[in-house]
Structure 1
Amino acid sequence: MNLFQSIFRGGESRGRYPESLIDAAIERAVDGTDARLRLLPGYRKRLRVPVIHAIDQVVALVDAIPAPLVAGRREHGEDPRLSAVFSSAADMLRIFGRDPALTAFLTTQERVAAERVTCVLLAERVERNILGMDLVGDQVRRDVPQVAVSFTGHRLVDPRVDDAEMRRALQRRAFDHLLALALNRIAEVRVEREDLIRQRDLLRRKHAALERGGWTFEEAQGAPPDPAALMAELDAITAQLAVLGTDEGVLRAHLGILADALAESERQFWAEELALSLDAMNIRRDAGDPSARRIVLKELHNARGRRLVMLPLIITPGEIPPREDFVAAAERYLYSHGS
């Protein structure tokens, strides 16, 4: 199975899945964690109900995502969600122009006929206690305790030509994120025997490789990997695990961890509504304050304590400023100062 292809085809209705999807999801769960689980008799039966439960959770989570918001220069000044998440329209468009996922998508054949791109923005919400100025009655007071809200680490995931394709990609990412969480739990199991320590280290390497391949909602470190090279690395890890042999007790423990993670998927990965009352400077206000804007966002959470604000967007590539060529800029600088 190619771990970078989706098992979802679109149009999945919660609780009504073709057997082909369930079978593919079971095999993906095994490939995404410990492929040696296939050596255990009955592994498919053990995983069937947990996998269906996880698919239910993934479909419900993606279905609940609101319609994408048009994110352009004009819309930034009109929609409080955009003005809260991005400091300015120019900053928003610069972030789009620098985003590696969007940049890569815009070079694909799929993009040629598309005038707009649909994707999901992820960002971290940061709240800080500050002392600021405020109007109390008719007097301006200094050093008033306030809570300032900001958003950092903006990045785009799963850019596609339309909303349906984007949601299909998000379903795959959400299901894979559950598998990555399960694999992380498997790799954290305490072991003492030397051969088991080697297995654990290989599973940790596999988890890191899958994260680099975009299997989670976490930000990938470094340049995006070449899919062929990443698959070769994963195949090599699988081969090394096979050489180390199989301890049935260990594999049954791994199978149990995977099944439990999928069966309790709503406690592993979920989305919550985030309602904020912010003024124009992103300072928290009481809901009844005349300066307050009510902003409702979705925030993703996982069992490891990570949280990310999620905002689906429609982007017009023609509005994005051209990406600066830093090499050419450096050459121009050197030339101008050398003459």
Structure 2
Amino acid sequence: MNLFQSIFRGGESRGRYPESLIEAAIDRAVEGTDARLLLLPGYRKRLRGPVIHAIDHVVALVDAVPTPLMAGRREHGEDPRLAAVFTSAADMLGIFGRDPSLTAFLATPEGAAAEQVTCLLLAERVERNILGMDLVGDQVRRDVPQVAVSFTGHRLVDPRVDEAEMRRALRRRAFDHLLALALNRIAEVRVEREDLMRQRDLLRRKRTALERGGWTFEATQTTPGDPAALMGELNTITAQLAALGTDDGVLRAHLGIVADSLAEAERRFWAEELDLSLDAMNIRRDPGQPSARRIVLKELHNARGWRLVMLPLMITPDEIPPREDFVAAAERYL
């Protein structure tokens, strides 16, 4: 199985999955964590219930993602969600133009021909206590305690021409995120013996390689790697782990971690509604104040304390400014 391909085919209804999907999800759960679990008798039976539960959760999570919002220059001035998340229309379009995932998609034949692209925006919400100016009665007062809300680290995931295809990709990403959390727990298990420490290091390398391949919702510090090269690296790590071998107790502990992570999917990875009352400067206001705008967003959380605001968008590529050629720009000054 190629770990960078999706096990979902679209149109899955909660609780009603073809056997092929369940079997593929079990295979992915093993290959995405510790492939040596294949050595354990009964591993498929142990994982079947947790895998189905995780698929249920993933399907419900993605189905609850709102309808994509048109995100253009005109819409930025009309929709308070866009105005809150992006400081200006130019800032928004500039972020789109610099996003590596969107840029890579638009370079494909499908993306180059697209009149509109659907994708999921992720951003971090930051709240700061500040002292600002405010109108109290008919007087302007200084140094008034306020809470300023801002959004940083904007990035786009799973750009597609079709919304249904984007949701299919998000299901894969959400399921894989649960596996990445399980792999992280396996890699963090305290070990003492030298051979177990070597296993832990290899599992950490595997987790890093999967993250570089855009396997989860986590941000990476590098551009996505070539899937073929990453699969080669993952195969090498798997072979090294197999060569090390392990005792039955360690493998059963790893199987338990994977099963528990999937069986507790809703406690490992979930979305909450974020209801904000902000003025035009993104300062928190009481809902009844005239300057307050109600902004309802969805925020993703995971068990490691990570949280990201998500907003599905529909983008018109023709509105995106061309990426600046820094080499050509530098040559103009030489």
Short-chain TM bin: over 0.9
Indicate yes or no: 2:289 matched with 1:289. yes
* Amino acid in structure 1 at the alignment position of 2:84: A
Residue of structure 2 in register with 1:259 after alignment: 259
Query: What per-residue deviation string (whole Å, max 9, x for no partner) do you get for residues 140-176 of structure 1?
Result: 0000000000000000000000110000000000000
Q: Which stretch has the larger CA shift, 300-309 or 223-232?
A: 223-232
Amino acid at match of 1:261: S
Match of 2:78 in 1: 78
AA of the residue aligned to 1:132: G
How far residue 113 of structure 1 moved from its aligned partner, in angstroms, is: 3.1
Q: Is 1:333–2:333 an aligned residue pair?
A: yes
Number of aligned residue pairs: give it.
Answer: 334
Letter of the structure 2 residue corresponding to residue 82 of structure 1 = L
Give the aligned partner of residue 214 of structure 1. 214
Structure 2: give runs of 5+ residues left out of the alignment: none
The residue type paired with residue 61 of structure 2 is L
CA displacement at 1:112 relative to structure 2? 3.5
Pairwise CA RMSD of aligned residues? 0.6
In the alignment, the residues of structure 2 paired with residue 230 and residue 333 of structure 1 have an alpha-carbon distance, to the nearest angstrom, of: 39
Consecutive unaligned residues of structure 1, counting only runs of 5 or more, are 335-339
Q: Distance in 2 between the 1:134 and 1:190 partners?
A: 53
Q: For residue 61 of structure 2, what is the aligned residue in structure 1?
A: 61
Partner of 1:49: 49
Q: For the residues of structure 2 that align with 1:127 and 1:140, how far apart are their CA atoms?
A: 24
Is the partner of 1:14 in helix, strand or coil?
Answer: coil
Instruction: Give CA deviations for 1:3-53 in whole Å, capped at 9, x if unaligned.
Output: 000000000000000000000000000000000001000000000000000
Indicate the SS of the match to 2:30. helix
Corresponding residue for 1:148? 148
Q: Secondary structure at the match of 1:78?
A: coil
**Secondary structure, aligned partner of 1:167:** helix
Q: What are the residue-to-residue correspondences of 1:1-339 with 2, within 5 Å?
A: 1-334=1-334
Equivalent-residue separation in structure 2 for 1:131 and 1:97 (angstroms): 34
**Cα distance in 2 for residues equivalent to 1:126 and 1:13:** 36
Give me the whole-angstrom Cα distance separating, in 2, the residues matched to 1:166 and 1:154.
18
Q: Deviations over 1:261-284 (max 9, x none)?
A: 000000000000000000000000
Provide Cα deviations, 1:89-143, integer angstroms capped at 9, x if missing partner. Answer: 0000000000000000001112243200000000000000000000000000000
Q: Match of 1:64, as an amino acid?
A: A
Normalization by structure 2: what TM-score? Answer: 0.99
Q: Secondary structure at the match of 2:21?
A: helix
> Shift of the alpha carbon at 1:222?
1.4
Instruction: Report the AA paired with residue 192 of structure 1.
Output: E
Q: Partners of 2:221 and 2:294 in 1: how far apart? A: 34
State the secondary structure of the residue aligned to 2:224.
coil
Q: Which runs of 4+ in 1 moved over 4 A?
A: none
- Per mean C-alpha deviation after superposition, the further-off stretch among 107-116 and 194-203 is 107-116
Please state how far the C-alpha of 1:72 moved relative to its aligned partner.
0.1
Work out the CA distance in 1 between the residues paired with 2:195 and 2:143. Answer: 60
Shift of 1:220: 1.4
Distance 2:333 2:72 in 1: 32
**Distance in 2 between residues matched to 1:263 and 1:270, nearest whole Å:** 13
Please state whether the residue corresponding to 1:323 is helix, strand or coil.
coil
How far is 1:226 from its partner?
A: 1.0
Q: Deviations over 1:161-192 (max 9, x none)?
A: 01100000000000000000000000011111
> In percent, how many aligned pairs have the same letter?
87
Q: Secondary structure at the match of 2:44?
A: helix
Q: In the TM superposition, what is the alpha-carbon distance from 1:246 to its structure 2 partner?
A: 2.4
Instruction: Tell me how far apart the structure 1 counterparts of residues 285 and 12 of structure 2 sit (CA, whole Å).
Output: 41
Amino acid at match of 1:281: M
Inter-partner Cα distance in structure 2 for 1:280 and 1:112: 36
Q: Which amino acid aligns with 1:3?
A: L
User: How far has the Cα of 1:216 moved from its partner?
Assistant: 1.1
Letter paired with 2:314: I
| CA distance in structure 1 between the partners assigned to 2:17 and 2:178 by the alignment | 19
Q: CA deviation at 1:62?
A: 0.1
Q: Supply the AA of the counterpart residue of 1:286.
A: D
